[in-house]
Copies of this chain bind each other. A is one copy, B any other.
Amino acid sequence: MRTLPAENSTMELQQLDLDTAPGRAERAKWLLSSPNPPSPWHELTSSIRETVLPKEREKQPRTKGHILFLQGLFPILKWGRSYNGAKFKKDLMAGLTLASLCIPQSIGYANLAKLEPQYGLYTSVVPPLIYALMGSSREIAIGPVAVVSLLLSAMIQKVVDPSVDPVAYTSLVFTVTFFTGAFQAVFGIFRLGFLVDFLSHAAIVGFMGGAAIVIGLQQLKGLLGISNFTTKTDVVSVMEAVLKALHHSWYPLNFVLGCSFLIFILITRFVGTRNKKLFWLPAMAPLFSVILSTLIVYLTKADKHGIKIVKHFKGGINPSSVHQLKFGGPHVGEAAKFGLICALIALTEAIAVGRSFASIKGYQLDGNKEMVAMGFMNIVGSLTSCYAATGSFSRTAVNFSAGCETVVSNIVMAITVLVSLLLFTRLLYYTPFAILASIILSALPGLIDLNGAYNIWKVDKLDFIVCLSAFFGVLFGSVEIGLLIAVAISFAKIIVVSIKPSTQVLGRLPGTDTFCDILQYPVAAQIPGILIVSISSGTLCFANATFIKERILRRVFDENETQENTKGGVRVLVLDMSNVMNIDTSGIRSLEELHKKMISRGTELAMASPRWQVINKLKTAKFVDKIGAGWVYFNIPDAVDYCLRFKINVLDNC
């Protein structure tokens, strides 16, 4: 009685169809005789072609293709032709505003990167110029940024101590910068832009927040005028060093000076936010603070009373640093590793900045082209005494508010910085470190996205754990540890979800032919004698096949217990396979085992709406023959319809 329909299913299916349901057999035929899906090789090659060849280039004739290729590589060739005086006026203003913010920030970030101050200014000259030629974002402001500066010093000073051997340290920074650029260019050329996505939004929010606090703690050195500071970046070490210094040697004057200017900068920012027309006020405040504080120190000779000043400041145009790149030394492997991490972090920040402003202005950024531009700008930078540059959040916002039209504002900024390098560096001899610290501190709140963290908490608790672990990893471990933990947890999440997928029991929505999750839609009702289970996993594979099988068996068992007294238990188990995109040999084996178990307890196994790859593999593996083609249905309504008829037959026979 039980085996009858399984064995004669095709015949019976046709018979029943002839009686009442002409469409079902045809739909089942469509399912079972669908064309072969593309082979894995075909999918692989087409995926590579799609990734490597950009769409536009495929269709263009050759000669025009070259021009387009050049225009693609150097967008300035495209927009340069429609550039005019009106636009330049705006760019000039934006560029000058940018420069006034950029000069003090660059010196501060160079200090954060444990480099001499001029290197920060160098980095604000060459990379923006290269980017202006190759980049396609119109608002992004290129130069040194806080997080990358911290990352560089935190990683590199573990290998070479900058206070012991500053020459070797600087040379290693350039080598890392070269690798950073090389990795970025390679990512762009091979269209590996998706690598940046491996840092999830939650991880970035946590990482940036942690980095901001770490950077802030580093500024305590300048703000308190401490001489002997720790080279570690974690909270515990830094607080220990600060407490030790507070007992021995610190100069309150530094703190007073730094704090007063910090308050001044924050007030100007507050005013700027309230009155949008005064956007230049917070942008100018840092430069003004530098000039004023330098003057104060110079006039009062406060450096004799413990105020720490910059002192040595080599002016002049960027010197070549080609001879400082070291590809043969003992640290080349580490330099490459650091370069990779820097490349990813720098790209993440730059692409986030570029995309958010591009979407405000309503144009699209090609992530891969941006990567190539960033790569080349850092490679050229590493040859001209620059360290890793990227797009800065705070300065891009200023650039945008100042009404920039194109990247020409970056060129204006670079030239302004260059001029000040040539003319004014001597004047910065008396600039106190405390001011640089307060300028950096004033830029940090922008990195801490409390609102973002709260939204993550609201939407996805697991994501919030990723965020928190990145935050605390950076804070208590190190910058790399924070990143590593966040990426590891993110991927572990993907694997755990794949390993322990959920299964749902489906029911029919009243008055329709639609079946859905009975927990999500409490109105949906189960059909007595039929258990419809949906597998909520994109793939049924070795890692989850046994788990899914056990889950389904347990569901059948539970269902039997609840239905036992009423309707004689589950007669047919319908597997809704519509979510399963792919199956492997372990998955097929577990389906076979499930089928055996079901048959042995007198329950039939039916399968509804298997996907293309799945039905094809099940046919190849002869699983369809095993359960009988009559038990594979186009969709759930067809399956239920047929099963109800069959069940009625069975009950009649009883």
Contacts and interface: CB of A to CB of B under 8 A. Distances in A.
A115 to B, nearest CB: 33
A545 B593 CA distance: 35
B494 A600 contact: no
Interface in A129-171: none
Contact of A621 (B362, B455, B612): B455
Given A197-B545, A521-B30, A547-B197, A593 B461 contact: no
A358 to B, nearest CB: 11
B582 A579 contact: no
A326 interface: no
Q: How large is the interface on A (under 10, 10 to 19, 20 to 34, 35 or more residues)?
A: 35 or more
Interface string A505-533: 00001011010010111110000000000
Interface stretch (A32-40, A178-186, A476-484): A32-40
Nearest to A557: B55
A202 interface: yes
Nearest to A356: B593
A47 B500 contact: yes
A593 B359 contact: yes
A499 interface: yes
Nearest to A38: B519
Q: In the complex this chain forms, how many copies of it are found?
A: 2
Contacts of A359: 593, 596
A611 interface: yes
Nearest to A517: B612
B55 A200 contact: no
Contacts of A39: 461
A600 B459 contact: no
A495 B621 CA distance: 25
A30 B55 CA distance: 42
B456 A585 contact: yes
B495 A495 contact: yes
A649 interface: no
B202 A582 contact: no
A256 interface: no
A461 B497 CA distance: 24
Given A55-B554, A579-B538, A585-B455, A612 B461 contact: no
Contacts of A459: 584-585, 588, 617, 620-621
Contacts of A362: 600
Given A543-B197, A581-B501, A511 B23 contact: yes
Contact of A460 (B201, B456, B461, B585): B585
A498 interface: yes
Nearest to A51: B500
Given A459-B617, A498-B498, A554-B55, A201 B585 contact: yes
A518 to B, nearest CB: 11
A502 interface: yes
A460 B584 contact: yes
A585 B463 contact: yes
A537 interface: yes
Nearest to A547: B194
Nearest to A538: B538
A578 B581 contact: no
A200 to B, nearest CB: 3
Contacts of A588: 459
A37 B201 contact: no
A471 to B, nearest CB: 15
B497 A539 contact: yes
A543 B198 contact: yes
A27 interface: yes
A541 interface: yes
A497 B55 contact: no
A546 B494 contact: no
B584 A514 contact: no
A246 interface: no
A337 interface: no
Contact of A542 (B201, B499, B539, B547): B201
Contacts of A611: 517, 520, 536
Contacts of A589: 201
A197 B546 contact: yes
A493 B493 CA distance: 15
B584 A541 contact: no
Contact of A538 (B31, B456, B498): B498
Residue of A37, A201, A455, A547 contacting most chain B CB atoms (<10 Å): A201
A233 interface: no
A521 to B, nearest CB: 5
Nearest to A622: B455
Interface string A526-569: 00000000001111011111110000001000000000000000
Contacts of A456: 585
Contacts of A41: 461
B509 A27 contact: yes
A504 to B, nearest CB: 8
B197 A462 contact: no
A635 interface: yes
Nearest to A592: B359
A586 interface: yes
Given A40-B461, A200-B541, A455-B621, 13 more contacts: A23-B511, A31-B521, A34-B521, A35-B522, A55-B554, A197-B586, A200-B586, A202-B542, A458-B620, A459-B620, A497-B539, A514-B634, A520-B612
10 contacts: A23-B511, A34-B520, A40-B461, A194-B546, A201-B542, A491-B495, A519-B612, A536-B611, A538-B579, A579-B579
Pairs A-B, 3 closest by C-beta atoms = A200-B542, A538-B538, A520-B612
